[in-house]
Amino acid sequence: SQQGEEDPQALSIQEGENATMNCSYKTSINNLQWYRQNSGRGLVHLILIRSNEREKHSGRLRVTLDTSKKSSSLLITASRAADTASYFCATELETSGSRLTFGEGTQLTVNP
Amino acid sequence: GAGVSQTPSNKVTEKGKYVELRCDPISGHTALYWYRQSLGQGPEFLIYFQGTGAADDSGLPNDRFFAVRPEGSVSTLKIQRTERGDSAVYLCASSLVGGGGLEQYFGPGTRLTVT
């Protein structure tokens, strides 16, 4: 079964609004990463947050990590139509080295 | 610079046939990963190479699947006696070094369809 579970499965918003996606996981991690995927093909890395970090920013992206709750959130501010994509969280587990375990993703649609 | 490339982009094969999928990682990246993604799902790990050796092949679903990386750069994923359930997008990724803690750079994938 997947380590990560994203919530919601699908999200539809208007341009300019903020989008928040959540990810929960089950076992201890070294780090958690967020990826974006367009059209079911290659993934693009967005942010990596380590287990001893609580928040990271990159442009319009903000990621938080709560290891006590085993959860993370990805916030996209001032969304654009070009942000429409699937977003996946992926965990690097303490017990499994550098392999990534992905959730099932959130499909974000930003309407112009 | 060039990213991760995968060939072919699409492959249609008949049930029972043998297929090879190729991955060219980013030059200088020592770690290479194969993942498989079914429709509507997140990618699932198959195998990880550090240099020429398979450091973790625990994700290979059965012995019909095999991967090599003989010179520590290009990798080939080989599937024998393909089954319809093997249909998926096969993704390759590389990172500068193995051992974790680094982002992985993904290729565009090979869409395999077994008829």
Q: Taking 70 as the threshold, does the pLDDT of residue A8 lie above it?
A: yes
The predicted structure's pLDDT at residue A3: 58
Kindly list the distances between the CA atom of residue B10 and the CA atoms of A1, A90, B65, B93, in Å, as whole numbers in the listed order.
27, 26, 18, 17
Residue pair B35/A90 in contact by the 8 Å Cβ criterion? no
Q: Taking 50 as the threshold, does the pLDDT of residue A2 lie above it?
A: no
Radius of gyration of the CA atoms of chain B, in A: 13
- State whether A43 and B106 contact (CB < 8 Å): yes
Kindly list the distances between the CA atom of residue A35 and the CA atoms of A61, A63, A88, in Å, as whole numbers in the listed order.
12, 12, 5
List the Cα angle B82/B88/B90 in 5-degree steps: 95
Residue A105 touches chain B, beta carbons under 8 Å: yes
Arithmetic mean of pLDDT over chain A: 92
Residue range B101-107: average pLDDT?
A: 91
% chain B with pLDDT above 70: 99
Q: List the single residue in B with minimal CA-CA distance to A39.
A: B108
Q: Which residues contact B63 (CB under 8 A, 6 or more apart)?
A: none
pLDDT digits (tens, 9 = 90+) for A12-66: 999 999 999 999 999 999 999 999 999 767 899 999 999 999 999 999 999 999 9
pLDDT digits (tens, 9 = 90+) for A89-98: 999 988 877 8
Both tokens assigned to A98: 């550098």
Question: Among A30, A45, A103, whose Cβ lies nearest the Cβ of B42?
Answer: A103
CA–CA separation, A74 vs B76, rounded Å? 34
Residue B2 touches chain A, beta carbons under 8 Å: no
% chain A with pLDDT above 70: 96
The predicted structure's pLDDT at residue B102: 85
CA–CA separation, B54 vs B65, rounded Å? 13
Which residues of chain B are within 8 Å of residue A40 when distances are taken between CB atoms?
37, 39, 89
DSSP state, A27? S
Q: List the single residue in A with minimal CA-CA distance to B56.
A: A99
Owner of token pair 């020429």:
B52
- State whether A98 and B48 contact (CB < 8 Å): yes
- State whether A43 and B31 contact (CB < 8 Å): no
Which residues of chain A are within 8 Å of residue B102 when distances are taken between CB atoms?
48, 98
Residue A94 touches chain B, beta carbons under 8 Å: no
The predicted structure's pLDDT at residue B94: 96
Arithmetic mean of pLDDT over chain B: 95
- State whether B100 and A92 contact (CB < 8 Å): yes
The predicted structure's pLDDT at residue A1: 37
Q: Taking 60 as the threshold, does the pLDDT of residue B69 lie above it?
A: yes
Q: Taking 80 as the threshold, does the pLDDT of residue A78 lie above it?
A: yes
The predicted structure's pLDDT at residue A54: 97
